[in-house]
Each structure stands twice: as C-alpha cells, then as structure tokens.
Amino acid sequence: MFEPEIKTVADETVAFIEMSGAYAKIPEGYGRLYGWVAQHGLTAQGMPEAVYLTAPGEVPEEQSRWELWAPVARDSAEAPADETGCGVKHTGERTVACAMHQGPYEGIAETYEALARWTAGQGYAMAGPPEEVYFSDPEKVPPEEYLTEIRFPVAHR
C-alpha cells in the first residue's frame, strides 16, 4: 500500500508527553497522555501521533527519545511540560513526504526505507524528525490491518 505523496500538514494543537527508552512503553505513554488530557479538561480530537526525536536503529533503544501527541481543540492554551512530562503545544505547518504503512509495526522499517528513497528521488531532504499517525486501535484491529501514516518533514534540496 505504498502510495507516497508530498503534502502540507496544517498547524495542530497537541497535548504531548516526552518519552525515552524502550518503544514498548508507547501504550503506557498514551495511557498517561490521554489521562492527562482528561484531567485537564481538554478535548482530544483526531488520531494519535508520535514523533521520533532520535532515529530508531541509529541509537540504542534505551537512549531513544520521542514524543507522543494527542491532537486537542485548537483553542487549547499552550503549556510547557509539567512534572508528568505532559504539556500542550502547536506543531506548526509543515511540508511532509508521507506514505501509509499497512501491517504490523515490526514491518514498518521497509516502508520507512522506501519512503526515504522516494523522497530523495523527488529532490527533497528530511527537515525534521519522522512522525507517525496511527489510524488503527491495536486493541480492536489485528496487526495485519494496522494503518500507520509515516511522515518525513521535508525541504527542497
């Protein structure tokens, strides 16, 4: 299901949680984030996202840094990360190369590699950390049906 494209992603207001270490902590992180959203009276809207601040595979997993995002109402006030690691920020409009990955997360590296080749072939270079948007709930959908949009913020070379 590899149909790459270049598109503009509008500025979003997101609640975020700063995470590090094993990616197996992602479900726990989303639980904490969405709990924080509810505790602060925010309205979550849209699909959950992740931003990988260190490249998976390029640093040991225990040194990995990433953020989980929960889109919230645009009029939500910005707030720096508090003692829980959660806060609210605007993402800024950005141009991305993107492609949808269908299937288990264990096979997502192939889609990353194909998108990176395609992006370079279109005359673009990465201009920020990769993002993932999750369109499937792993508790409700079997792994072969997971849909994950991979996004690379890009700029013309």
Cβ(62)–Cβ(4) under 8 Å?
no
Q: What is the pLDDT of residue 138?
A: 87
Q: What is the pLDDT of residue 127?
A: 96
pLDDT per residue over 83-103, tens digit each?
999 999 999 999 999 999 999
Residue 1 has pLDDT above 70, yes or no: no
Handedness of CA 142, 4, 108, 30 (dihedral sign): negative
pLDDT per residue over 100-121, tens digit each?
999 999 999 999 999 999 999 9
Q: What is the pLDDT of residue 123?
A: 97
Residue 2 has pLDDT above 80, yes or no: no
Domain boundaries, the chain: 5-156
Domain 5-156 annotated CATH 3.20.20.70: no
Q: What is the value of pTM for the model shown?
A: 0.94
pLDDT per residue over 115-157, tens digit each?
999 999 999 999 999 999 999 998 899 999 999 999 999 999 8
